[in-house]
Chains A and B, each alone.
Chain A
Amino acid sequence: MNLFKNHRFLPISLGVVTVLAIILYLILRPAPTLPIITPTPTVTPKVIPTLGIVPANPNQRLIINWNNLTIAPPDKLVLYTIIGPLINDQAIGIVATALGFRETDAKATLQKTSQLYTRDNRSLFASTSQNQVQFADSGPLPTKVGFENIIALEQQTTAYLNQFFKNTSFTKTDNTEYFLGRTDDYYPQIVSREKANLVRFAFQQTIAGYPLLTTATKNAIVVFTYDSNRSLRSLEISGGYGQTEPGQTVSLLGFDSLRQVATRLAVPLSLETTVDNKSLIDSQLIVTLDLKSLNLIYFAKPENRQIVPAFLLQGTLTGNFPDTPATYLVPAAAP
């Protein structure tokens, strides 16, 4: 077929040839010479301290009802590094001895940084890498209820703390809790002091005048639980420091900046709830925090060594689940 014999195809054919020529030119032309760029010295970006908390459901979005709460943080705060975690080999040895465990009670663990002792219903787990101690006595609970002499137990607790951690001070928190537990219960119930057979004391550490929070029971560093016979039923130590070292000074977010970033950066620190409800809460895509208090604190995960300032948002979490007391953290260091 000779297309050029037909006048109608001539312009079309010429057009096609032109387009092909342009394409060929574009493909085959030499690459333009790029200007030489002199590298400039790299500025080390300022490292913004992170909290290291990963939410269970990263897709969950938080809405905050601020309720006219406000805060006036200082312009700057110092970061700290834990150079001596609270739980070290020496402390573990003292705790184990004080709680009546012997070397023959030791059991195998997964890592060299952990130790496990068990005897009868009592067990002690401690880990320097997790910076944690967990002691539990799962023997039968006394039927006797009521704590008449709570002072004696407080003294006993102070004695334990002095024995475990010399030269380290703790502050007892206000939230002493009383429980009624029965041996066949899954979870003890919170009751009044008169009806309780278990009492739980929590202790915090402070740094630079601010409380040090961590991921643990009640966000406290040390938590003791005694039964009504004054026997220690559980000891939970998580996080905390023996020695710290000050680091760089960081600028803090102001309140307005906090409001802007909080929804995006807030991470849940703790929810006072059950397994069941936490599962339900984790499944939500949108939750709302009805803010009750706003404070500046220092935070360090047990296994982390960096102590960083953070805003503590406490309130009630609402959504498609029963209302739940909750605490959220927002990193306080300005970017």
Chain B
Amino acid sequence: MSSSNTDPKIDAFRAQILHAAKNKTPLSIEGGGTKSWYGNTNTYSKLDTRAYSGILEYQPEELVITACAGTPLKEIEAALKDKNQVLAFEPPHFGEHATFGGAIAAGLAGPGRISAGNFRDFVLGTRILDGKGQDLSFGGKVMKNVAGYDVSRLMPGSMGTLGLLLEASLKVLPKPAGTATLRCQISQEKALHILNEWAGQPLPLSASCWIGNPNEEGQLTIRLAGAIAAIKAAIPLMSASVNASEVDPQSAEIFWNNLREHQLSCFGNLAADQTLYRLALPAACGPLTIPGASNEIVLEWHGQQRWIKAPGDEATFTLIKQLISSHGGHATRFKQGANVNSAFERFTLLSEQVHSKALEAVQARLRSAFDPAGVFATKRLP
């Protein structure tokens, strides 16, 4: 139900929204600005969420945390760590000042996504201000709730184009009792094959990453997480089939964190005319050859998320989109080199996908239901 308590900070947000609605000038919502490079660019005036900050409720035995959008993400993770709990989908921070709201709006997930689920799987409820300045609450703080449409789960990945997120309740999970990391040298094709085979077996496989040149052997790193006994039993079994060895826990933790934060060397050195492309693909997709791509590629999520560096021009993106769509996935211009035209569309459009053309009109109506005046119509997400 709409919250009756008034907060001067929320009143200030509302005033900014109503002003924007009146002047028909969209607002670009921003937290810590750590992901400002992600999504389509705009020059609209900013709505800064950071004033509305703080953890509102956290009861570890409920597995739920409720916090304000402007809360630093690190503050939330520190509170969870204190109680031995985690955000199992490991959202990347991409900078020290990442906020809770920004992480939700970006909707990105880290290595744990393949086993734990994506960001929206963990969203239980939200409080938002819509484009009319209305204070709305959807969902709740309980695990199971089917009252009303699940509007809350539209927020992850909506890039601030649906409404201003004020608060959210997320499901959290206990930190796994044990973890172990294994590493081996293996070809991309064999890696994709064995990862999918393992994923269909009762093994504590929690994350995977293959880094290498498409046609050579590369480095496969896998993470096991769960009951200590289950990990102990799985290590010899999985090591034997790929001739892997265990990575020491400290180096392993650094590796998985660097992967999550794109701090591994393979994510660096983006040439001025290059783009870092994110490819989201079905499990069935084998190795792909991308024209003009740099040699080193990164495969995560058992091959369902792939990172490649390739020329940032429109022709290359068009080719990549066609190739990825033909495999049932979609491509994103994730990060741009210094000389790539920043006005280029970053995402695959609904109209470019089979059977989603009709969704374009639905999505437009959905947005205007929450935001008739176009206060959040920054096009940051098309």
Tell whether A and B belong to one assembly.
no
